[in-house]
Amino acid sequence: MTGIAQSLFHDKGWDILTTEENKYEPWPKLQACINKGSLLYSDRAFAEFTLESSNIQNEGTALFLCHLMASAREGHLCVRVDQSLTPDPREMWLFDNKEELYQSILSGAHSLPDRILIDVFDEICPLRPICRKGNNYYLQRHWVYEALFMKHLKRLAIETEKKSFDNQLVQQVVEEMEASGKLLKEQAQAIICASKYPLSIVTGGPGTGKTYTAANLIKVLLKAKVKENLSVVLTAPTGKAVENIQVSLNRIFTGSDFGLVIEGKTLHALLGLSRYREKPEHGEQNPLDADLIIVDESSMVDVRLMAQLFSAVKEGAHLVLLGDCNQLPPVEAGSLFADMTELCSKDNHFKRHQVHLNKCLRAELQEIVDFSAMIQKGDVQGVLNQLEISKSSDPIRHLPFKGNEEAFWEHLEARFILTETLQPVEYLKVFDRYRVLSPIRRGKIGVNAVNRHLFDSLDADAVPIMIVRNHHRLNLFNGEVGVLFRRGEYMGQAIFPGRGVDQAYFDKDLEVRRFSAALLPQYEYAYCISVHKSQGSEFDTVMLLLLEGAEVFGREIFYTAVTRAKKSLEIVGERSLIQQILSHSPKRISGILENTFHRQS
């Protein structure tokens, strides 16, 4: 849904800068915030356009509208207004007199004209740009998606136990698997939950067996199905995450053994979304023809995709969400997976829909799991102590490169130097063993600078790349990582992990998908990738670059990066910055808890 400010910025925003009448500034505080970089000109364009029909020039009202826009960019679905404002603009905006600014915004929230404000209940298509539900104020598009999501969350959660599967047989099979040691008790509980209810949420940290549980869920439900043909779909927010869950499931489960082909698609492809199609092909009027939908990396799904997914689940189908609620929230607005897990912890009715996997099953991960647990709890002293005593042979190492850029680059270059020519598929494996992660794209050691330096200094025959724009015809999706050949036998070609011999562009001899570089959608070099882009991936060794600016993301960025490492972890960053990151854990605001039912009194 295109925002009003996006569609009008060129017109209105340009007028703000150029017209003679704007030599007199009616909103000096707002303009000062734009000058300091706290607000965008598009925020002002939105405020001007929204208030134009009401003939109102109140600066506090304009400031509140800008605060709604700024909060949306931070991922919040709404702004909560009572005796205070949440999120707090004093923590977001640069302004000389923050208290004066705060009071102006708060007063502006209480003076919104009726022509732009509507009090909503459950209606999904309000006709005014600002929606209010209780104390929560929404931009229209965010209310639309939250209301759509809530409608179908209630539909899936309120239904009694479905009869899609023989629950008695499920119980029997699961008990046998648990008795034989094939399942832990918590994994068995997750399978029973998914078989009984239309919605189930399986949470857990790295190595707790979420994918293994999903594979065994499919096995059990195929044995206990009531209908003859069971349609199973695997999906995730990115192509890389889809690739990972398919590879993992193929190791432990062969669909053909049951006469079943499991389809893996990104959420965009599953719902029929593309850059040219804003309205999904599948939704309330045309639900997905799938009996079991398994979503991996659910913490990455924003409010728009989650709402559209929930609305597309047909009656009688089962939706299983897998994820780690301690990871980073989505790039776009909302953090609905975290909201749902919090709802399950506080609401007796929803509690039955969630199972948390606690036990780490991979011994080589245990030190990293313990370290990530300290991060998740905000244990500043524990994290700093471990980094302080780390040695070069430890799986978790702190690299003190402060003031020695030359040593940093030498260390990094040595990690990527290849001394021999490899088979194409081996390049994919080599680049997946070591990856540099950074929370920041710009700066001396941001993503862009690291990639440019390594590309120039190594001048390698083969370069890791990441797709950054979906190409549905080629089945290449945002987040997929491959290798581009600049010289040699495969010069001018790119390879990506294969998804099966039946797929176009699959090279049976090389066991990869092979493309001409000229056909590729937009891509970027991938020696270093952002922590956000790394979600859904794992690497043997991760180097994490923590630089100024990372503190705004809080400890979720630290936790997410650390849990990408399978064997070892290198951390570059000053102690003071690490302390700031660990001390901050931003929470996105929504109305999910307030707007649901069966709340405990």
Domain 365-583 in the same topology as domain 23-144: no
Cα(29)–Cα(18) distance, rounded to whole angstroms?
19
Respond yes or no on whether the N-terminal peptide bond of residue 87 is cis (omega within 30° of 0).
yes
pLDDT value for 364: 67
- pLDDT band with cut points at 50, 70 and 90 for residue 133: very high
Cα(157)–Cα(352) distance, rounded to whole angstroms?
10
Residue 601 pLDDT more than 50?
A: no
The fold of the 158-361 domain, in CATH, is Rossmann fold (3.40.50)
Distances (CA, A) of 227 to 344, 433, 449: 30, 43, 55
Question: Contact, 193 vs 200, CB < 8 A?
Answer: yes
pLDDT value for 335: 93
DSSP 388-408: HH--TTSSEEE---TT-HHHH
pLDDT value for 501: 44
Closest to 43 in 3D by CA, of 79, 76, 4: 4
- pLDDT band with cut points at 50, 70 and 90 for residue 599: very low
| All structural domains of the chain with their residue ranges | 23-144, 158-361, 365-583
Tell me what the pLDDT averaged over the chain comes to.
85
pLDDT value for 260: 57
**In this structure, how many other beta carbons lie within 10 angstroms of the beta carbon of residue 95?**
17
- pLDDT band with cut points at 50, 70 and 90 for residue 165: confident
Residue 202 pLDDT more than 70?
A: yes
Residue 12 pLDDT more than 60?
A: no
Percent of the chain past pLDDT 90, that is, above it, reads 42
Inter-helix orientation angle 239-252/210-223, to 10°: 60
Question: Contact, 384 vs 574, CB < 8 A?
Answer: no
Token representation of residue 598: 């069966």
- Alpha helices, DSSP H, located in 348-434: 348-351, 366-377, 380-389, 405-416, 424-433
- pLDDT band with cut points at 50, 70 and 90 for residue 474: confident
How many residues does this entry show for the chain?
601
- pLDDT band with cut points at 50, 70 and 90 for residue 158: confident
What beta strand segments (E) does 193-314 contain? 199-204, 232-236, 263-266, 292-295
Hey, what amino acid is at 300?
Answer: M
Lowest-pLDDT range, 171-175, 227-231, 393-397, 486-490?
A: 227-231
Question: Largest Cα–Cα distance in the chain?
Answer: 81
Hey, what amino acid is at 55?
Answer: N
pLDDT value for 18: 44
pLDDT value for 463: 94
Rg of the Cα atoms in the chain: 25
Token representation of residue 291: 């009996």
- Average pLDDT (283-307) is 93
pLDDT value for 369: 87
Q: What is the pLDDT of residues 527-539, one digit of tens each?
A: 999 998 888 788 8
pLDDT value for 54: 73
- Average pLDDT (172-177) is 91
- pLDDT band with cut points at 50, 70 and 90 for residue 167: confident
Q: What is the pLDDT of residues 336-363, one digit of tens each?
A: 999 999 998 888 888 899 999 988 777 5
- Average pLDDT (430-442) is 90
Residue 2 or 36, more confident: 36
pLDDT value for 17: 46
Q: What is the pLDDT of residues 490-526, one digit of tens each?
A: 899 999 887 654 466 666 666 788 899 999 999 999 9
The fold of the 23-144 domain, in CATH, is Arc Repressor Mutant, subunit A (1.10.10)
Closest to 51 in 3D by CA, of 31, 71, 27: 27
Question: Contact, 239 vs 477, CB < 8 A?
Answer: yes
Token representation of residue 49: 């356009």
Lowest-pLDDT range, 268-277, 409-418, 489-498, 592-601?
A: 592-601
Cα(495)–Cα(488) distance, rounded to whole angstroms?
14
pLDDT value for 21: 46
Q: What is the pLDDT of residues 256-271, one digit of tens each?
A: 455 555 768 889 889 9
Closest to 310 in 3D by CA, of 145, 547, 168: 145
Cα(147)–Cα(311) distance, rounded to whole angstroms?
11
Task: Give the class (CATH, top level) of 365-583.
Answer: alpha beta
pLDDT value for 13: 47
Q: What is the pLDDT of residues 75-117, one digit of tens each?
A: 999 999 988 899 999 888 877 888 898 999 999 999 899 899 9
CA angle centred on 363, ends 361 and 367, rounded to 5°: 110
Cα(161)–Cα(427) distance, rounded to whole angstroms?
48
Question: Contact, 202 vs 212, CB < 8 A?
Answer: no
